[in-house]
Structure 1
């Protein structure tokens, strides 16, 4: 994680930081709970809550579904 508190980061950085702390595989509820526990913004919580109810294998299975500007290498 970066030194910036989660709520003060851009939405992309918030999501990136949160997804990197998840124990995979994870379902939507685990993603939302991790974001809530990290103090993510309401926008990030809404994005994650809007994901389909399913299990996600890894970061790469989540990022294409989020309306955000992730670049390559997010999971590294």
Structure 2
């Protein structure tokens, strides 16, 4: 997938695409950097930047917080 295709995707797919590229474990800054490099939308960057400063061990640890904070429509 090319980075330019990501902003045209629904938000949950953008996040899923970004998380597939992340090397875990990582922290919030690593998530935001990966999203920025992937060309994610400002909405995705804002969501990830709003996450708590902590270490994330895997995709599930990130998606639990995103789904809990932003509602069931983001069941990644």
Q: TM-score, length-normalised on structure 2?
A: 0.84
State the match for 1:56 in structure 2.
Answer: 56
Q: Distance in 1 between matches of 2:30 and 2:65?
A: 16
Q: CA RMSD in A?
A: 1.7
Q: TM-score, length-normalised on structure 1?
A: 0.84
Runs of 4+ in 1 over 4 A off after TM superposition: none
After superposition, residues 37-56 of structure 1 pair within 5 angstroms as 37-56=37-56
Contiguous gaps of at least 5 residues in structure 2: none
